[in-house]
A and B are shown apart, each in its own frame.
Chain A
Amino acid sequence: MRVKRFIPLAVFALLALLLFKGLSIDPTALPAARLGQPFPDFSQPELLTEELIDASALRPGPALVNVWATWCYSCRVEHPYLLALAEQGVPIYGLNYKDDSEKARQWLADLGDPYRLNIADRDGTVGLDLGVYGAPETYVLGADGVILHRHVGVLDQAVFEQDIGQWFPALAKLGQANAPEGSAQ
């Protein structure tokens, strides 16, 4: 018996440990570093007005930041629900991710605009800082602009009620009334 013969076993043991650790990780979860942190600072034009805006434009919360693009088919799917949410008074900020601004403006004109404002993230740097995988993604920002939650994929009624609704307790009371700008709480 030679020690050399045990090398494959030892390598496998390491691999098994790694896989065991891997089981407790949710690969779609937000990197822990970003949760509880403020929205990364940026300076980008607003999609419609072309004025430079920064993270302070995303206040007050609680609010949703929705990552979308015209090239993203699922975004088209979730769009009607975003309109409905906005209708109910949930403040939604858009992050127009790696998109052609002209097409994006056309999209909002055609399909309706649920967004308070849109960050025109043409080269995707804001998305990079935020850790975006792809569109659509939706983030929940607290009153102080801190990231509370991240949802990857299409946002719909079921997801909202289960994971996100808790941060918008006033929603039921607001009913159909259109909340005035900036007073969604």
Chain B
Amino acid sequence: MIPEIGHLALIIAFVFATGLAVIPMWGAVRGNIAALNLAPTLAMGVLVFVSIAFAMLAISFLDDDFSVAVVAANSNSLLPPIFKFSALWGNHEGSLLLWVLILSGWMAAVSWFSQGLPRVMVARVLSVMGMIAIGFLAFSLLTSNPFERLLPNIPLDGNDLNPLLQDPGLIIHPPLLYMGYVGLSVPFAFAIAALLGGRLDASWARWSRPWTNVAWGFLSLGIMLGSWWAYYELGWGGWWFWDPVENASFMPWLMGTALVHSLAVTEKRGVFRAWTVLLAIFAFSLSLLGTFLVRSGVLTSVHAFASDPERGLFILIFLALVIGGSLLLYALRAPTVASRINYTAVSRESLLMVNNLVFTVSTIIVLLGTLFPLVMDAFSLGKYSVGPPYFNAVFVPLMALVMPFMAIGPLSRWREDSAARWLHELLVPGAVVVVFAVALPFLFGGEFNVWIALAVLLAGWVAVGVLKDLWRRLGVGSGYGLRWQALTPSFLGMAMAHLGFAAVVMGAVVVTQLNEERDLLMEVGDVEFLGGYRFELTGLSREAGPNYMADQAVFEVTQGDQVIATLIPEKRRYFASGQMMTEAAIDASVWRDLYIALGEPIEEGAWAVRLQFKPMVRWLWLGGALIGFGALLTVADRRYRRQSTRHSAPIAEASGLAR
């Protein structure tokens, strides 16, 4: 009964979504205020019924209802309850439902927080989001029904959740990532609504800015968690693989980075208008493309869902309608009159344009690398795979290119600035960074490493830019005391994100350059030295988990006379699937991780073991968290709250705007 209720709720949600896509849009065209005003109610209807469907599927998982195909394929009665719940989105059908749930959550949030916006704008935005919801609900109902039953032969027990996904990281990683992916539909919907209304001005940019920042912040956190999860769960100690599925989430992030900055220019200065709209369309299009790549089976990847050409065709048609339709709309309605607002080559506008160019080019680079195997295959030119060497060779220099500008950006002035002033602001801190980068080996020992010196130089340069800006805003040395009120949430968020970026660069370069690893055959009593630490294998044992059996090895790690940690890596064998899993043991700290993974038992009492010493690897995720939380912080800014009261829109405006 429960699954049928869920199925029915999903169908009702589809009806609401159709209403949302049609009625307010018609109201906007005709100036029918009653129809416009229905938008928030219809959006809430979608949310309520998708939530019911989601809850019914969650109950089916928690109750071990193995008559439901998805539950039978992805859960097991022995699975701990929290993983039964997260198993819901560990598969194609369930994750699609999560996608729609989050989309309807964003719709409800837009209707709740946009009460001060012109009604016609809100109606159009929600209507566009309703169209997206139609597509995904239809996709779910027609090709990937999560409530499909296995009748009459009900399995006695389920196949179990893939052991890789039985991990706390997987409880929060997909929802965060989807918050970001799907959140990009909000700036997209605002862009389309603005194109439809023919009003592409600064107010449009101001309205969509907080939404974009939040979505981009969630996307940053989602990607960061994904990288962390891969690091500790896959057992190789790698943190980024340039895998097609990773790229699928990374491309919207790169585009989103450009969008976040471009929106700032459009809001403050009214320039880059057409370009910003295009970026908003691109960012969401790339998140749809990611969905297609992951779910259609056109690319092979370790974390792709089971491939199914029929589903692929459905998403492709949907993709063509959404992206093709919006780009056509853009071609027809984008502002063709160049803006009359001028700026000089030496100005904040130009610096933000550098940001836009670099991140757009980076997106294209990643897109080309991801699709290259497909292109070659499509033209029968052979089978290829594009690996990290390509991406690193092209991507790393691009990031290095943008960093010199990052420090100047926040300090620079709009419209017209002078290089002499920049030099005056940054000459001393810049010199300090250069000296520090060169003198590093003398300060901390070790050999001079040119890549680390460069990383310190660039990351340090970005950091001094942020600090100098902070210094100036606070009015240090002005004689009037510190101006704490100058530290607005949007400034602090930006500062955090920029520092986070610098931290990611430091972590990535240092761990790549100084990583040490050793593959060994070890028996109890064996001792090994790595990175200045002494690793002793003190014992082997076998422990039973709730749904697996684990071989454990106990390592004692010492430095000098001091015991640093006792690490217990495991090799698990899961009962239901018989799959083997490596659970690495990690001693984490800010400056270095010690990482031990068990390979295979080679002979009686001896195991293949991989020891790794990973300096500063944490900086990657600390930096990622700074970027994400920084972006989220910006929406606390007062000026976004003021907007909602300032534009208490007269309803008459609606008909005026409609055409």
Residues of chain A having any CB pair with chain B under 8 Å: 1-2, 5-6, 8-9, 12-13, 15-16, 18-28, 31-32, 73, 76, 131
* B383 at the A interface (CB under 8 A): yes
* Complex contact B600–A25 (CB within 8 A): no
A12 touches B312 (CB 8 A): no
CA distance A31 to B292 in the complex (A): 24
Binds A, one of B112-120, B254-262, B369-377: B369-377
| B328 CB–A CB distance under 8 Å | yes
Question: Which residues of B370-391 are within 8 A (CB) of A?
Answer: 371, 373-375, 377-378, 380, 382-383
| Residues of B contacting A: mostly | helix
Q: Which residues of chain A come closer than 8 Å to B274, judged between CB atoms? A: 5
Given known pairs A12-B324, A13-B324, A27-B297, the reply for A18 and B374 (CB within 8 Å) is yes
* Binary per-residue interface labels of chain B (273-286) against chain A in the complex, 1 for a CB within 8 Å, 0 otherwise: 01000100110010
Contacts A16-B323, A23-B298 aside, 5 further interface pairs with beta carbons under 8 A come to A9-B324, A26-B297, A27-B298, A27-B299, A28-B300
Q: Are the CB atoms of B324 and A73 closer together than 8 Å?
A: no
- Contact (Cβ within 8 A) A12 B377: no
In the assembled complex, the CB of A62 is this many whole angstroms from the nearest CB of chain B, namely 25
A31 to B383, CA, bound (A): 7
A1 touches B332 (CB 8 A): yes
Residue of B nearest to A32 (CB): B380
Contact assessment for B377 and A22 in the assembled complex, using a CB-CB cutoff below 8 Å: yes
**Contact between chains at A12 and B327 (CB < 8 Å):** yes
Contact A16-B319, Cβ < 8 Å, known A1-B331, A5-B334, A8-B327: yes
A25: B residues at CB distance < 8 A? 298, 374, 377-378
B316 within 8 A of A: yes
Q: Within the complex, what minimum Cβ distance (angstroms) separates A106 from chain B?
A: 10
Residues from chain A with Cβ under 8 Å of B328 in the complex: 9
Contact at A16–B371, with CB atoms within 8 Å?
Answer: no
Which residue on chain A has the smallest CB distance to residue B335?
A5
Candidate in B278, B334, B382, B383 with the most chain A CB atoms within 10 angstroms: B383
With A6-B331, A73-B600, A131-B383 in contact, do A1 and B336 touch (Cβ < 8 Å)? yes
Contacts A9-B328, A16-B316, A73-B580 given; does A24 touch B300 at CB 8 Å = no
Contact of A5 with B336 at beta-carbon distance under 8 Å, contacts A18-B375, A24-B309, A25-B298 already known? yes
Contact A16 to B324, CB < 8 A, known contacts A5-B334, A8-B330, A23-B313: yes
Docked Cα-Cα span, A25 to B383, in Å, equals: 11
- Judge whether A18 and B371 touch: CB under 8 Å: yes
| Chain B residues near A15 (CB-CB < 8 A) | 371
Interchain CB contact under 8 A, A5 and B331: yes
Task: Please name all residues of chain A whose beta carbon is closer than 8 Å to the beta carbon of B334 when the two chains form the complex.
Answer: 5
Measured CA separation A140–B215 after assembly (Å): 51
Q: What are 25 A-B residue pairs whose CB atoms fall within 8 Å in the complex?
A: A1-B331, A1-B336, A5-B331, A5-B332, A5-B334, A9-B324, A9-B327, A9-B331, A15-B371, A16-B316, A18-B375, A19-B292, A19-B296, A19-B319, A22-B298, A22-B377, A23-B313, A24-B309, A25-B298, A27-B297, A27-B299, A27-B377, A28-B300, A73-B580, A131-B383
- Cα of A9 to Cα of B281 in the assembled complex, Å: 11
Residues in B lying within 8 Å of A, measured CB to CB: 274, 278, 281-282, 285, 292, 296-300, 309, 312-313, 316, 319-320, 323-324, 327-328, 330-332, 334, 336, 371, 373-375, 377-378, 380, 382-383, 580, 600
The complex places the Cα of A69 from the Cα of B375 at a distance, in Å, of: 31
A131 to B309, CA, bound (A): 24
Determine whether the beta carbon of B374 is less than 8 Å from that of A22.
yes
Q: Determine whether the beta carbon of B309 is less than 8 Å from that of A23.
A: yes
Cβ of B375 to closest chain A Cβ, rounded Å? 6
- B297 touching A19 by the CB < 8 A rule? no
Distance of A91 Cα from B617 Cα, bound (Å)? 50
Q: Is the CB of B383 within 8 A of A22?
A: no
Q: What is the CB-to-nearest-CB distance from B368 to chain A, in angstroms, rounded to a whole number?
A: 11
Measured in the bound complex, the distance between the Cα atoms of B281 and A31 in whole Å is 37
Q: Which of B296, B316, B331, B374 contacts A8 (CB 8 A)?
A: B331
CB-contact partner of B336 in A2, A9, A18, A24, under 8 A: A2
Which residue among B274, B371, B375, B378 has the maximum number of chain A CB atoms within 10 Å of its CB?
B378
Q: In the complex, which residues of chain A have a beta carbon less than 8 angstroms from the beta carbon of B296?
A: 19, 22-23
Most B Cβ at <10 Å: residue of A16, A18, A19, A131: A19
Complex Cα gap A59–B249 (Å): 49
Q: A20 touching B316 by the CB < 8 A rule?
A: yes
Q: Which residues of A contact B374 (CB under 8 A)?
A: 18-19, 22, 25
Q: Are A18 and B378 in contact (CB under 8 A)?
A: yes
**Inside 8 A of B282's CB, which chain A residues have their CB?**
8
Residue of A nearest to B327 (CB): A9
- The 8 A-B pairs of least Cβ separation, nearest first, read A22-B298, A9-B327, A5-B331, A21-B378, A6-B331, A27-B300, A23-B312, A22-B374
State in angstroms the CA–CA spacing of A6 and B332 once bound together.
8
Residues of B within 8 A of A9 (CB): 324, 327-328, 330-331
Which residues from chain B contact A5 at a C-beta distance below 8 Å? 274, 330-332, 334, 336
- A180: min CB distance to chain B, Å: 35
* Min C-beta distance of B255 to chain A, whole Å: 13
Cα separation A23 to B380 with both chains bound (whole Å): 14
From residue B296, how far is it (CB to closest CB) to chain A in Å? 6
A75 to chain B, nearest CB (A): 11
Nearest CB in chain A to that of B580: its residue: A73
Please measure, in the bound complex, the distance between the C-alpha atom of A18 and the C-alpha atom of B316, giving whole angstroms.
Answer: 11
Contacts of A28 in B (CB 8 A): 300
> What residues of A have a CB within 8 angstroms of the CB of B324 in the complex?
9, 12-13, 16
